[in-house]
């Protein structure tokens, strides 16, 4: 029994140590670093970098954007979707004509 | 007065004269409502990410203008009545514009070339070009 408890304790400690490491590796927002970068809803290629393979918007935890710029990216992606520059979903394939 | 940016998608089978007519009409609407058109640019023919009105391609155009809100609704109305317009989107670019300063700024950037004006003057030329093209085909 005593050995089991000690093992559990060890596992918890390791998990905690891992969490701390992830937080420390937080990326800096690329738009805050480079003020020249403009978020434009007409630039489909640029917005593609913030989409998953299925066309979903990537979360902040993966893109490393700050809250302000993530909001702007999200708004730009939604506008680009209305203009059919990028798809709403990857299942929306063009008609075979 | 606000500065607006508008993108509209036109039917891929529209001829150049039809497009220039439409652009001239939009320009006329803006000027009739005391607005000012800064530039009109073609973004070219693009493949749509998903079909709109059963079309897989569209011709994209961008307008940048300063006008009142009522003018915007009038332009949008005329586009929604036009069957050749697949889609449009108007975005507020700036809440307040100094028209002259903005026009000068755009001119300095070299973006001031208004397609509507250019097309109007060159419609005859393009018509001739079309005819020439047809003749060539006939010859073949």
pTM more than 0.90: no
Residue in A36, A82, A35 with CA at minimum distance from that of residue B7 = A82
Specify the pLDDT at position A74. Answer: 94
C-beta of residue A50 within 8 angstroms of C-beta of residue A73 = yes
Residue B133 has pLDDT above 90, yes or no: no
- CATH number for region A28-82: 4.10.640.10
Cross-chain residue pair A82–B87, CB shorter than 8 Å:
yes
Specify the pLDDT at position B95. Answer: 86
Q: What is the mean pLDDT of residues B48-76?
A: 91
Distance between CA atoms of B10 and B45, rounded to whole angstroms?
Answer: 9
**Dihedral angle of Cα A72, A80, B39, B109, to the nearest 10 degrees:** 50
- CATH number for region B2-139: 3.30.70.60
Specify the pLDDT at position B137. Answer: 45
Domain boundaries, chain A: 28-82
pLDDT digits (tens, 9 = 90+) for B31-41: 888 888 888 88
pLDDT digits (tens, 9 = 90+) for B89-124: 999 988 888 877 777 777 777 665 555 444 444 334
Q: Identify the band that residue A75 occupies on the pLDDT scale cut at 50, 70 and 90.
A: very high
Cross-chain residue pair B7–A97, CB shorter than 8 Å:
no
Q: What is the mean pLDDT of residues B58-68?
A: 91
Class of residue A9 by CB neighbours under 10 A (exposed 0-12, middle 13-18, buried 19+): exposed
C-alpha dihedral sign at A73, A76, A77, A78: positive
Residue carrying the six token digits 């990028």: A86
Q: Tell me the ipTM for this assembly.
A: 0.71
Angle at A82 between CA A80 and CA A84, to 5 degrees: 70
Residue in A97, A95, A51, A76 with CA at minimum distance from that of residue B52 = A95
Burial B29-44 (b: 16+ CB within 10 A, else e): bbeeeebbbbbbeeee
Distance between CA atoms of B50 and A24, rounded to whole angstroms?
Answer: 41
pLDDT digits (tens, 9 = 90+) for A17-42: 566 555 556 668 888 888 888 899 99
Domain boundaries, chain B: 2-139
Return the residue of A nearest to B54 by Cα.
A95
Q: What is the mean pLDDT of residues B55-70?
A: 90
Q: Identify the band that residue B125 occupies on the pLDDT scale cut at 50, 70 and 90.
A: very low
Q: How many CB pairs under 8 A join A and B?
A: 41
């Amino acid at each position: 029994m005593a050995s089991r408890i000690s093992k559990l304790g060890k596992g918890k400690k390791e998990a905690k140590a891992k969490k701390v490491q992830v937080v420390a590796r937080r990326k800096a927002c690329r738009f805050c670093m480079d003020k020249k970068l403009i978020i434009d809803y007409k630039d489909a290629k640029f917005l593609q970098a913030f989409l998953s393979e299925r066309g979903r918007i990537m979360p902040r935890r993966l893109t490393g954007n700050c809250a302000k710029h993530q909001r702007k990216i999200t708004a730009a992606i939604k506008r680009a979707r209305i203009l059919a520059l990028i798809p709403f979903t990857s299942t929306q394939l063009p008609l075979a004509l | 007065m606000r500065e607006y940016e508008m993108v509209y998608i036109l039917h891929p089978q529209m001829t150049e004269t039809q497009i220039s007519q439409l652009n001239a009409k939009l320009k006329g609407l803006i000027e009739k409502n005391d607005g000012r058109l800064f530039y009109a640019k073609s973004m070219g023919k693009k493949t749509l990410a998903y079909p709109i009105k059963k079309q897989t391609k569209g011709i994209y155009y961008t307008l940048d203008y300063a006008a009142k809100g009522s003018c915007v609704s009038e332009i949008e109305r005329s586009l929604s009545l036009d069957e050749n317009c697949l889609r449009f989107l108007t975005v507020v670019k700036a809440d307040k514009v100094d028209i002259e300063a903005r026009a000068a700024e755009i001119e300095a950037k070299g973006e001031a070339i208004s397609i509507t004006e250019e097309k109007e003057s060159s419609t005859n030329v393009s018509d001739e070009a079309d005819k020439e093209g047809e003749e060539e085909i006939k010859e073949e």
